[in-house]
Structure 1
Amino acid sequence: MMGIVFGIVVGLALGLTGGGGSIFAVPLLIYGLDVAPASAVAISLGAVAITAAFGAAEGLYRGVVELRAALIFAVAGMLAAPLGVYIGGRVSDTLVVLSFAALMAVVAVRMGLKARRRPDESRVVRARLSAEAEGDAGTVCHYSNDGRLRLNAPCSAALAGVGLVVGVLSGFFGVGGGFLIVPALILITEMGIHRAVATSLLVITLIGLSGLGSAAVSGREIDWALTGLFVIGGVLGMFSGRVLARYLAGATLQFVFAVAMLATAAFIVVERLVVGA
């Protein structure tokens, strides 16, 4: 049942951080459940994608997902995710794990800086979509008078370009990519943080499923029972986050997650280069 327990941890992290929480999935699978790195990446892709789908469904129901922007981003990512899976299958487990540790460190630093510089945004989480999301707007990919996002060629090209990068990283590392998707949406379209977080959930779902499918087709060993338990825990964690978000979300929680990421990254490096040497 540790699969459910660890899934709850990932669901809470995914729900409460607004981006980057799913990055705990792979280390928990490798070091907590003794899953091989290649299989852990595949299981993580599936679990995070399905967990994110529940939040995406709420966002779509409430009309706070920029559907066309999400689809451009996601289609590019879905096309690139198999490449990330392919590359991950051609390098050593040690390189994959150490690269993952470096990614965790980068995400942790970014999360800590964001909590310090923009503490108000730290309360915007995936677990509970704010009513303020309906009022978010954008100016780079301009909104028309009727409130629709006008996706001109430069805007669409930028979304697709970043989608390709996120797709490769998701396929290689088994992460949702929210830590890249949310700031990219805000930068490219300047949509508000609430709407960007809601939109990113749909992107994570589609790219993650593409990566999982590619891993399965490529012959990676995937424990589907464990994946199911991880999904159950992730959904429970996400819905628990809905209750906890109003009390816990904020800069302090972001710092806690950032420190936990750095500590996990340091553990991975020590385990691989010192203990495993």
Structure 2
Amino acid sequence: MTLWTHDLLGLLYGLIVGVSLGLTGGGGSIFAVPLLIYGLGIPVGTSIGLSLASVGITAGFGAALRLKAREVDVRAGLVFAAAGMLLAPVGAWLGTQISAALLLSTFALLMAFIGIRMWRGKSGEGVVPGACVVRSGGGLGLGCYARLSAAGCAAGLMSGLFGVGGGFIIVPALLYVTGMSIHRAVATSLLVIFLISISGVAAHLANGQQFPMPVTALFIGGGFAGMLAGGALRSRLSGPVLQKVFAIGMWFVAAYMLARNLPAFL
């Protein structure tokens, strides 16, 4: 593969990830790591850090728009993100201590799990709020902050370890703890993902990961453009059918990753 072809594929794969991210509202970003590793031949650690950077930049753009529209619960988002930012470096470090085969196999199982949630249409709408719910004129108590922080720790650990945004944890947790609307929870999750991603990327850089240029810029730029295109197409496509298509895609990619890494355990 020539250098020019390699960079062009980086742009194309970024577009694919961006479109899937825009169409699914978050789940499609999980395709980034397998495309970087198996499509571009980028090392595992670098791919995870690059995936996290791409997801973070995209989420940051979305968060800025939602903040301007006053759709973000800044207080809940900052509490959630603070805990996640503490654990994201731990996840990044843990990834350096685990063999690539085990890390990728675990990542494949995570993809399979998210695929099941997408197939069932689990995006948070069915979450029943817990006892800790923000009421008119009320506020979050210490118990609420503890629940948000615990969920933030889980999201941060997975973000640093696998390079994913963690929206499949963040949105249901925000709904359960605060009782906010699904629309506001999704908007708030963008702020959380952005902040946790900053911490995770910084940790990967501190661990010695280097992002190859210009393919990194092309991948992130392609993802940004694809996210806008996917978001524009989302309203024209059937949501339930689209989620099932992406779920099947995740299962195929997960099966491929498990098959590639199975020999390491035999």
- Aligned residue for 1:238? 227
CA distance in 2, matches of 1:212, 1:178: 17
CA distance in 1, matches of 2:168, 2:215: 25
Listed as ranges, the gaps of 5+ residues in structure 2 are 1-7
Please point out which of 46, 49, 61 is paired with 2:56. Answer: 49
Please point out which of 13, 23, 27 is paired with 2:20. Answer: 13
Deviation readout 1:217-270 (Å, 9 max, x if unpaired): 111232243222121011101111231011025111010111100110001111
Q: How many residues align?
A: 257
Please point out which of 85, 92, 96 is paired with 1:78. Answer: 85
> Residue 163 in 1 paired to residue 141 in 2?
no
Listed as ranges, the gaps of 5+ residues in structure 1 are 123-136
Matches within 5 A, 1:21-170: 21-114=28-121, 140-145=132-137, 150-170=139-159
Mapped contact 2:55–2:164 kept (Cα < 8 A): yes
Instruction: Give me the TM-score of the superposition, normalised by structure 2.
Output: 0.90
Tell me which stretches of 4 or more aligned residues in structure 1 moved more than 3 Å.
Answer: 137-140, 274-277
DSSP-derived class of the 2:72 partner: coil
Could you tell me how far 1:273 is from its partner in structure 2? 1.4
Instruction: Give me the TM-score of the superposition, normalised by structure 1.
Output: 0.87
Judging changes above 3 Å, is the alpha-carbon distance between structure 1 residues 3 and 35 closer, same or farther for their aligned structure 2 residues? same
Mapped contact 1:16–1:249 kept (Cα < 8 A): no
Deviation readout 1:136-184 (Å, 9 max, x if unpaired): x998431324xxx722111111111100011011000011111111111
- Aligned residue for 2:194? 205
CA RMSD of aligned residues (A): 2.2
CA distance in 2, matches of 1:16, 1:270: 28
Judging changes above 3 Å, is the alpha-carbon distance between structure 1 residues 139 and 12 closer, same or farther for their aligned structure 2 residues? farther
CA distance in 2, matches of 1:249, 1:56: 25
CA distance in 2, matches of 1:18, 1:58: 15
Q: Percent identical across equivalent pairs? A: 47
Query: What amino acid sits opposite 1:165 in the alignment?
Result: A
- Aligned residue for 2:211? 222
CA distance in 2, matches of 1:276, 1:9: 31
Mapped contact 1:47–1:228 kept (Cα < 8 A): no
DSSP-derived class of the 2:242 partner: helix
CA distance in 1, matches of 2:9, 2:97: 30
Could you tell me how far 1:188 is from its partner in structure 2? 1.6
Mapped contact 2:49–2:163 kept (Cα < 8 A): yes
